[in-house]
Every structure is written in C-alpha cells, then in structure tokens.
Amino acid sequence: MTPEGSINRGTAFHADWLDGIRVNKSAVERRIGSLMGRRSVKKDSQIAFMLKAISCIDLTTLAGDDTPGRVERLCRKAAHPVRQDIMDALGVGDMQLTTGAVCVYHEMVPTAVKALEGTGVPVAAVSTGFPAGLAPFETRLEEIRRSVAAGAGEIDIVITRGHVLTGNWQALYDEVKAFKEACGPALMKAILATGEHGNLTQVGKASMTAMMAGADFIKTSTGMEGVNATLPVTLVMIRQIRDFYQRTGQKVGYKPAGGIKTAKDAVAYLTLIKEELGRDWLTPELFRFGASSLLGDLERQLEYHAFGGYSAAYRHPMG
Amino acid sequence: MTVKEKFETMDYSPAPESRANADAWLKAHDGRFGLFIDGKWVQPADAKTFATYAPSSGEKLADLTAAGQAEVDAAVAAARSAQGKWASLGGHGRARYLYALARLVQKHSRILAVLESLDNGKPIRESRDIDIPLVARHFYHHAGWAQLMDEEFPDHEAVGVAGQVIPWNFPMLMLAWKVAPALAAGNTVVLKPAEFTSLTALKFAELCEEAGLPKGVVNIITGEGDTGAMLVNSNVDKVAFTGSTEVGKIIRRAIAGTGKKLTLELGGKSPYIVFEDADIDGAIEGLVDAIWFNQGQVCCAGSRLLVQEGIAERFLEKLRRRMETLRVGPSLDKCIDIGAVVDQVQKDRIHEMVTAGKAAGATVWHAPCDMPEHGVFYPPTLVTDVGTDNILFKEEVFGPVLTAITFRTQAEAVALANNTRYGLAATVWSESLSRALEVAPALKAGVVWINGTNMFDAAAGFGGYRESGFGREGGREGMLAYLKPKFEKGLKEWKPVAKPADVAKPKASGGMPGVDRTAKHYIGGKQARPDGGDSVAIATHKGAFAGLVGDGNYKDIRNAVEAATKAQGWAGTTAHLKAQILYYVAENLSARADEFADRLSELTGVSGKAATAEVELSIQRLFSAAAIADKHDGAVHQPPIRGVALAMNEAIGTIGIICPDEAPLLAFVTLTAFAIAAGNTAVVIPSERYPLLATDFYQILETSDLPGGVVNIVTGARDAMAMPLAKHYGIDAVWYFGDREGSAAIEKAAADNMKRTWVSYGKAYDWFDAKQMATRVLMDRASEVKNIWVPYGDANEGGKSY
C-alpha cells in the first residue's frame, strides 16, 4: 500500500506552462458549492469512503511538547486506527487498515520508525525549517538529508512563500528541485502554504512549478497558517495536477492539511478528488490527509454504521 | 456490493430522495385533479382529462382536467370580479399575502421539489437547491414591491386581469415569475401551467388556500395548448407567456390591436464566449451550468460555444473529459447531474435536430455516460465542425446539446455572437475586466453573465432582445410589465384629422414670383428626392396650396432604414454629446420659432397663440430630452453573489415612428427627440396631413450637428409606408399613433421579428399633457434594460467571501 519512494521525475522549467494559468475565484467557489450538492455518498459507499479516508491520513503531531511517549502512542493508533470489533461488524476485519503515514518533526523520526517497524506505515518528517521555511538554505538541505538518514520515507518540505508572492517562479523551481535532490529515494511532499498566497492564480502557478521541480505530492499547508486546507484551494491544486499529468504523463499526489476535522469534510475531499482526478487518485499513493483529529470522528461515524447508535469519543482508543 | 468491494471501486451508491410526501399527496387526491377557479376546486362533468407522467420512470402520476372555454371564461370572470378588491386592499395588504406565500413555499419546499422532479424529470438537487429557493426569493422580493408600490410607482395602477401561460422547463419557478409581480402590482391572475408539468401549480393553488388568499385572485387552470389559446384570447388585460418563439409570434398576432399588455419570454441560442485569457477549467465548469443544467431545457442555455481559436483544441479536449464524468440518472437520485428529458416528444425533437445537423456535416459526439435503461434520457452531446448555417448552430435545440465554433478576435466573437435572430442571454469568460466589460454591452442580449452563467435573482430583470421576446421579469422593469399609467383609462377616442378633398392650385400671380421651395425626404443626413419621383400637394387649413412634399414609397423606407442602421454608432456616442446636440436643436428651433408658429397656424388653423404655445412646448421637450440624455442611468443590483448586476439602459436600435396628425410639430418633435436621446436612430413618417412641419424641421437638424442617418424623415401616404416599415427586419421597434385597425395591423406585422411596439389602439394621447409625456416614461419606451452580471473577487481568503 505504501509508496515506493519518489514517483515524479519532474521536468525542465517551462515558464509558458505558467502563463496560461488563470484562476477565477468565483468560478472555483461555484464549482465547489454545486458539486457538494450533486454528489451524495450514502450507505456502503459512505463506509468505503470513510475507510479510504483513514487509509490516506498522515496521522500527525507537530508540537513543541511532543515526546517519544506521545509519538509511540500515536504510532500504535496509526497501525490500528479503528477498533477491531467495528471493522469486523463492517465485514472488513481482515483488511489490515492503517493510516497512510505518521508525520512528525525530525527529532521524533527515530522513535516513530522504531514504533512502526513491521507495520508498513511509513514515517514522514516535516523539514526545511518547517513551518516558515526561512532557515539558511544549507541548513534546510541538511535537515532533509538527516531525516532521510534517520529512516523517514517521506519528507514534507516547505517552500519560500516570498518566491510565490514576488512571482519568482524560477527561484521557486530551483529551490524545490534542490530539495528533491536532497530527498534522494524518499517521497517528497511540497507544502505550498497556500493560506499565505495572494490569490488562487498564485496557488495554481506555485503548484505547477513545484511539480515541474519534481514534487511527488503537493500539499496545501503546514497547519500553522491562518487559513489551511480548503476545498476551493484543493480544486485549484488538483486541476494543476491533472494538467501536469496530461502534459507529462506523471501522476503527482495531493495532500490537504490542516482544518479537516470531520468525516463529512473527508468525504467531501474524496468526492472532489474522484470527480476532478478520477478513481486512480483515491489511494494513499496519490492522496493524503494531513490531520490529527480527523481520525476520531471517522472512527465514531464507523461505529454508528457498524452498530446503529451514535458513538462518543471516549469509546475509542486515543492516539 | 460489499464494503470491501466498494473500497476498491470507490463508486457512489444510489441516493434516492424520499417521495413519500409527494405520493401521499397524490394519493390524497386519488391521482385526479380539477381546476382551481374562484377559490374552489371544480371538475366539470364533461371535461376532457389528460394524464401527466414521470419522464424518468414512465409511470403515470395523475389525471388532470383540461379546461374548456366555459372554464376559461369562468376563471377570467372570477379574476375580474376579485381584481378591484385585491387592488384596493393596498400595497401592505398584498405584501402580507405575498410574504405568507413565500413562507409557505419554504415550509413546503420538500414536497414542491420532489413533485417538480417527478413531474419534469429534473434532478432533485436542482429543484431543491435552485428552483424552489428561487421561487421563495421571488415571492419575498415581490412582497417588497407590493409594500412599496405607492411610493415607487405613484402614477401607476394594476393592469387588471393577467392571463399567464408558462412552460414545462421550470414549472414552479416560471409560475413564481408570473404570479408574484402580477399580484404585487394589484392584478389578479389566471395561470395555465404546461400540460407536461402541472403538479406544482396545483400544489401552489393549495398554498394559496393555506395563505387565505381571497378567492379569485389566483386561478389555476390546467390544459393543453388549446386551453392556453383560449386564455390568451379571453377577456384578460395582460398576457404573459414564456415558451417558444413560434408560439410567441402566434400570440402576438392573435392579440394584435386589442390593447392587451404583453410580455413574451421566448427562445434563445445564447452564445457562450471563451477568450484565451479565461480561467479554462472555470469556463468548462460554467458550460456544465450553461447547457447541461436542466438537461439543456433552458431558454437561456449557453448552447453556442464560441472559443478562441488558439485554445480551442485544448479546451474541447478538456471539455470532453469533463463530459465523461457527468452522471445521468433518475430525477430523484441525489447523485446525478442530468435527469430525464421532459417527454418522449421532446427527446424525438432533439434527436431529429441532431440528425439534421449531422446530415449537414456536423460531427456529433455523445459523452459515453452510463444511461438508465428506462425513462426518457438524452446523453450530453458536443457538436463540432459546423458552419454558421448549421441547424445546431442556428436553432434552439432545448436539450443537452452544445455546438462549438471558433473565433479569432474579440470583434469576431461579438459578430458571431450577434449573428442570430435571438437575443436572450450571453456569457463571457475572460480574466480581463477591460475586455469583458467592452464585450458585454456589444452583445445583443437581455442578460450577460461574465465569468459565470445561469445566475438569476428576483431583483435583476430577465428578458430578451430580438426574437427572444420583450418585457422583463424581475426587478423594477418586471413590475412595470404589470402596471399601467393611471392616465391611460382616461384617454379619449382618437379621431382622424379631416383631409381636404382637393387642394387648390397655387394662385397665378403677376410680377416677381417667390422662389420655389422643394421639400424632400431627409435620409442619411441628406435631402433626398422621392424614389418614385412623385409629389403630394399639401393644403393649408383653408384648402389652399401650401406646398409639395415627396410621395414616399417602400423604397424610400428601405433607404431610410439602411441609413438609420448605418448610423447606429449614435448609441455609442457619449450621453453628453447627445444632450448637447438636442439642446442645439432646441436652440435652432427657438431661433425660428415664429416661422414654425406661422406654419402651424397656416396649416392647422390654430390661433397664433396656440401655435406659439406648441412651438414653445416643442422646445421644452427638446430640453427635456437633452436633460435626461445624460441622466438615464441604470441601476446596480446586489444579487446574492459576491458581485454586482449592472442594469444598463440601452437603445433598442432603429425605431420606426409613425406620427399622428394632431399636434403635428409637438408629437413629431417629442417622439423623435426621445427616441434619439435614448441612443436610437429613427425613421420617421411625419403627419400625413401636415408634413411640411417635419420637412421644415430637417433644416434645423442639418444645422445642429446631428450625425447623418440618426433621424430620417420620409413623407407621403402613411398607411402605404407603415406596413413596409413595420415589416422591415432592420427596424427594432415601431411606434404608431392612429386608429385601432392600424394599431392591430402594425402589431401583427411587427411579430415577424418581434419588434417592440408602442401603438395607441385608437386612443388619443394628449401631446401637451405633462403626465402623459413624462420624461422617464418616454425614455423607458425608447430603451431596453440589459443586466450584466459581474461576479468578482480574487483575494485568497481561504475560499470564504469577505
């Protein structure tokens, strides 16, 4: 289930690919508003979508007070995200459901790697001076290398927002390409921090630039910006993924992060991905949620579907 | 399928909306409905019945009663007797009822939505999220107009009884568009829903009962086309019709000359223009809203895609991919984009047109969507490789069929967009505001959407140019369609001015003769001899010879229309310039006031004082026209989007003006001045009896910097020229003042290209009366409202509006 490292070879920098990118905010909002009214995910589909959502979660803890004990507990939850009796009741007790990854700071990578040994769940490390990304360039590259060396299979890098805000796409390309080289075999997710972009056209151009530079995933946010993942921003980014695929034949993954807290949110994201990118992208190889509290709600909703009564949080093992 | 399998396929499950409410309602009525007349449900023993079906399953939903002549008459009589009391209830009283209806629509929104989707075949998500909320919005908005009517329309009153015939594509919404403004203005109504889709109208009748609406205020009669025809021809004061252009023309001709006020909202072949600087994905999604909304059975559907050549290939490729993901299915499934076509008849019609288009060389691509096995469905379809003569490019399909063509430049896009007899709506996609706001006014369409499509709101008028009909629904202009000026009922019968049987020959005189004066036509800024080479002698009021004028014929009319068409750039000149020229005309008339007064006295026999007064008032009218020219501002609506709708007053085009004999200078000056103040060009047939006033007047026009062709004057026998003028396709509106028969003939002829008409129906306007010739009223006659929707917003606020 887990990706075998890097999936995007990238391309040369094509300034002309950026020229045609224009995003009309009202049109984006209209599509989102209309789609959510036109796709209803019910019954077995709803269960399947929720299980899929869990399989795509990068279960995350990124706090200054993280400790090995806390991270170990999170890792156990990642390996067994839903109570077995619920899985059994839904007829999927043998599917070995895990989350997509566990996502931590560099210091916690060894702990997580050890805790997840044998589970197949990869460890992702946020990197490159996360969340602001303004540490010295050499330091940022070194951070990547060390996390990879410590066993992180996935690196979530942050870009320099200044390049986006000043329209310096060549500089952004060069930066991401350098990060990609530093990642070596590890899967690289490029955090664009879209909440800090001026408009959606910049989000579109930054997305395309990051993919040209070799990002395996493009990711909305660090979770620390004022506004994190939203459906409109998602629409803009995944449409760029589709264009990049049509231009190059290379599939790039997508990761919304921050603010996705409910099962309903998660189903909405999966629906949008299915409609705009197709079924192929509904897999942890090409889609992840960056989330911490989402799993709790998904588990509660699954219990409702399994046993017919709405659940309470304390009934589910905490991560 | 097990959860595990679903986990692999990630398919949606069917998500049917419950129809229990609707079924219970149908059952409570034993699947049989009568007519709602005078607050009672009636089912005449001998009435014909007909069945209504659910197109997405084929099941019969109910048997309905076809109203015959007796029932139509009874309904109209009921409405008639209820009208006075309803109007005198006052604005606030009517507002309370309309408010109650708005609330009731919301309280019963679910059953209304389910019934609508069952009966029409449209996706439940559309009826639930679009149609029914817009219905409620329309009643709320018009509760407001009722409340404010006395203040907002002080010199107006209700027209009387409105006969309303609505189509099957948005049954309940079209009902709201018709009923709400009519009731707000103090009219009572008889409404006939379309035979395929009557159920929500019948449910609405129950809501009227629930609201305690006085009996007879709303009458709902079901039936087929013949019932509609009976209603149109019955004793109503106003006819409002939404439907095909073909039927619209039949109605226009049928009631020509009756004085029934008429609003027609007809077909369209609306252009959808995508410039190379557009948000391409946004424009493609917009197309889904434009042509696959309601199975394309939308009068304002963006059915003609005009895409800039440089991006066409990529655009169409993306479009095809998008079309593949459209979901076609049963109307009550909450997981579909496209439902059933309303009836097999309609599907056959779509098929026929597509076949004809294909035979003419078009490439037809049906998206490979999964199609339901039963029911009446048509797949989303893209048509390419068409010329501008292909039926699928020219004619309304009223189905999910999009026809695409390319253009090179902005100018060519506008030309192609306007290359149609329709003019309902248009859509423009460009991220350049300069470009979009230049294109929108250039399009012949009543509604223009920029970077979006099919946006509606009760506050923004909706209606067409050209053969898409006339009159507006929604907003202030929509209210005016259900009001008439209070002075109208006091108008006296028109009497023709007697013509002398003979004109005496000029008297022989010895000595030095006066210099001969030659009055010609005035065409394209030049004095033109009559094409036929004939002249007509004009008499003084005593029957003496006053002069000769050209005896115009249809060729002179043709030449004048050509000149007026060429001069249409006048509409684009600044309002300041129009005002300046009109003031200058007034100045020059004033300089020759005595001469015109003398001429008036000589020809008409009025006293010198009266003649001076008429000239003086003519000067004042020119001042008023000049004054309003730069004040006839539109409105900025605030629709429920982040954006604005700009209601712009636009010139109609070229107006044919057939002047009366009475007040020969004042009527001529008033009509001409306001026509051009609003930006129109004019072909004027002056008073047949007193044309010399007009021929004298062109000398004033010549010295007043008026561009050639803006005003054209053709003298002669007016009835001989009125017909070629009313039938000329280059004329966009025709004004006629004379008898009832003449008015009828003009309105009949005008139906060919749906000219806007202003005729006097054999009544006599008082050209001296300030109320009758009120400045704003005249400007409204001379212009049309275009609503340009401009959604805006660029700042990244995380998808939230600010």
What letter would DSSP give residue A200? H
Q: What are phi and psi of A7, to 5 degrees?
A: -120, -15
B641 chain-A contacts, CB cut-off 8 A: 26
Q: What is the pLDDT of residue A4?
A: 54
Cα distance between residue B61 and residue B331, in whole Å: 14
Nearest to B287 by CA among B269, B268, B274: B274
Q: What is the pLDDT of residue A250?
A: 97
Q: What are phi and psi of B787, to 5 degrees?
A: -105, 120
What letter would DSSP give residue B276? T
Q: What is the pLDDT of residue B801?
A: 37
Q: What is the DSSP string of A121-150?
A: --EEEE-SSTTTT-S-HHHHHHHHHHHHHT
Alpha helices in B255-308 (DSSP H): 280-291
Cα distance between residue B324 and residue B148, in whole Å: 49
The b-or-e profile of A51-79 (16+ CB within 10 A means b, else e) is bbbbbbbbbbbbeeebeeebbbbbbebbb
Average pLDDT over residues B94-116: 98
More confident residue, B517 or B24: B24
Quote the tokens at residue B399.
């189905």
Nearest to B144 by CA among B458, B578, B421: B458
Residue ranges and CATH numbers for the domains of chain A are 15-305 (3.20.20.70)
Q: What is the pLDDT of residue B509?
A: 72
Interchain proximity B799–A233, CB inside 8 Å: yes
Cα distance between residue B415 and residue B781, in whole Å: 27
Closest CA–CA distance from residue A190 to any residue of chain B (Å): 19
Interchain proximity A26–B642, CB inside 8 Å: yes
In angstroms, the first-to-last Cα distance of chain A is 22
Is residue A151 within 8 A of residue A130, CB to CB? The reply is: no
Interchain proximity B641–A26, CB inside 8 Å: yes
Is residue B551 within 8 A of residue B716, CB to CB? The reply is: yes
Interface of B with A in 189-228 (CB under 8 A): none
Nearest to A109 by CA among A141, A77, A156: A156
- What is chain B's alpha carbon radius of gyration, rounded to the nearest angstrom? 29
A/B interface, count of CB pairs below 8 Å: 134
* Cα→Cα distances B463→B170, B299, B443, Å: 15, 10, 14
Q: Assess whether pLDDT exceeds 60 at residue B771.
A: yes
How far is it between the farthest Cα atoms of chain B? 117
Cα distance between residue B483 and residue B263, in whole Å: 12
ipTM computed for the complex = 0.95
Closest CA–CA distance from residue A92 to any residue of chain B (Å): 6
Other Cβ atoms closer than 10 A to B596 = 23
Q: What is the pLDDT of residue B516?
A: 82
The b-or-e profile of B234-244 (16+ CB within 10 A means b, else e) is bebbbbbbbbe
Indicate the average pLDDT of chain A. Answer: 96
Domain covering B32-55+62-266+479-484 assigned CATH 3.60.20.10 in the classification: no
Is residue B754 within 8 A of residue B470, CB to CB? The reply is: yes
Other Cβ atoms closer than 10 A to B221 = 30
CATH class of the structural domain B523-785? alpha beta
Secondary structure of residue B187 in the 3-state scheme: coil
Cα distance between residue B436 and residue B451, in whole Å: 9
Q: Which residues of A are part of the catalytic machinery?
A: 156, 219, 255
Can B71 be counted among the known catalytic residues?
A: no
Q: What is the pLDDT of residue B802?
A: 36
Quote the tokens at residue A288.
């992840």
> At A5, is the pLDDT very low, low, confident or very high (cuts 50, 70, 90)?
low
CATH class of the structural domain B270-463? alpha beta
Cα distance between residue A143 and residue A129, in whole Å: 8
Cα distance between residue B548 and residue B532, in whole Å: 14
Cα distance between residue A111 and residue B80, in whole Å: 86
Of B11, B282, B311, the CB nearest to A28: B282
> At B799, is the pLDDT very low, low, confident or very high (cuts 50, 70, 90)?
very low
> At B505, is the pLDDT very low, low, confident or very high (cuts 50, 70, 90)?
confident
Strands B545-550 and B535-539: antiparallel
What letter would DSSP give residue B432? -
> At B507, is the pLDDT very low, low, confident or very high (cuts 50, 70, 90)?
confident
Q: What is the pLDDT of residue A2?
A: 40
Residue of A nearest to B451 (CA): A27
Average pLDDT over residues B243-255: 96
Q: What is the pLDDT of residue A7?
A: 85
Q: What is the pLDDT of residue B504?
A: 84
Q: What is the pLDDT of residue B510?
A: 75
Q: What is the pLDDT of residue A287?
A: 98
Q: What is the pLDDT of residue B1?
A: 80
Other Cβ atoms closer than 10 A to A241 = 24
Quote the tokens at residue B436.
């979009």
> At B498, is the pLDDT very low, low, confident or very high (cuts 50, 70, 90)?
confident
Q: What is the pLDDT of residue B708?
A: 98
**Residue B247 CA to chain centroid, in angstroms?**
14
Other Cβ atoms closer than 10 A to B627 = 16
Q: Assess whether pLDDT exceeds 90 at residue B628.
A: yes
> At A317, is the pLDDT very low, low, confident or very high (cuts 50, 70, 90)?
confident
Average pLDDT over residues B228-256: 97
Element at A101 (helix H, strand E): strand A101-104
Is residue A175 within 8 A of residue A160, CB to CB? The reply is: yes
Indicate the average pLDDT of chain B. Answer: 96
Q: What is the pLDDT of residue B769?
A: 97
Question: With an 8 Å Cβ cutoff, is B434 touching chain A?
Answer: no
3-state secondary structure B38-81: CCEEECCCCCEEEEEECCCCCCEEEEEEECCHHHHHHHHHHHHH
Q: What is the pLDDT of residue B586?
A: 98
B281 chain-A contacts, CB cut-off 8 A: 27, 239
What letter would DSSP give residue B130? I
Cα distance between residue B109 and residue B698, in whole Å: 62
A228 chain-B contacts, CB cut-off 8 A: 798
Cα distance between residue B781 and residue B112, in whole Å: 38
Residue of B nearest to A243 (CA): B318
Q: In what order do the strands lie in the sheet with B643-651?
A: B363-366, B381-384, B401-407, B302-308, B270-274, B425-429, B447-450, B783-791, B643-651, B635-637
Quote the tokens at residue B406.
């390319």
Question: With an 8 Å Cβ cutoff, is B643 touching chain A?
Answer: yes
Question: With an 8 Å Cβ cutoff, is B644 touching chain A?
Answer: no
Nearest to B783 by CA among B794, B775, B795, B791: B775
Range of weakest confidence among A226-230, B307-311, B590-594, B674-678: A226-230
Q: What is the pLDDT of residue B800?
A: 44
Cα distance between residue B600 and residue B607, in whole Å: 9
Of B2, B125, B279, the CB nearest to A23: B279
Chain segment A268-289, per-residue pLDDT in tens: 999 999 999 999 999 999 999 9
Please report, as a single letter, which amino acid is at residue B753. Answer: N
Tell me the sheet residues that pair with B261. B238
Average pLDDT over residues B37-55: 96
Strands B425-429 and B270-274: parallel
Chain segment B725-757, per-residue pLDDT in tens: 999 999 999 999 999 999 999 999 999 999 999
Q: What is the pLDDT of residue A3?
A: 46
> At A1, is the pLDDT very low, low, confident or very high (cuts 50, 70, 90)?
very low
Average pLDDT over residues B6-23: 95
Nearest to B578 by CA among B788, B783, B786, B785: B783
Q: What is the pLDDT of residue B502?
A: 84
Let me know if B226 is exposed, middle or buried by CB neighbors in 10 A (0-12, 13-18, 19+). Answer: middle
Q: Assess whether pLDDT exceeds 90 at residue B512.
A: no
Interchain proximity B10–A274, CB inside 8 Å: yes
Interface of B with A in 150-189 (CB under 8 A): none
Q: Assess whether pLDDT exceeds 80 at residue B277.
A: yes
Secondary structure of residue B373 in the 3-state scheme: coil
Element at B7 (helix H, strand E): helix B3-9
Catalytic residue of the set B71, B126, B265, B650: B265
Nearest to A45 by CA among B426, B516, B333, B317: B333
Question: With an 8 Å Cβ cutoff, is B133 touching chain A?
Answer: no
Quote the tokens at residue B336.
């579909």
Catalytic residue of the set B299, B300, B369, B659: B299
In angstroms, the first-to-last Cα distance of chain B is 45
Q: What is the pLDDT of residue A225?
A: 92
Closest CA–CA distance from residue A22 to any residue of chain B (Å): 5
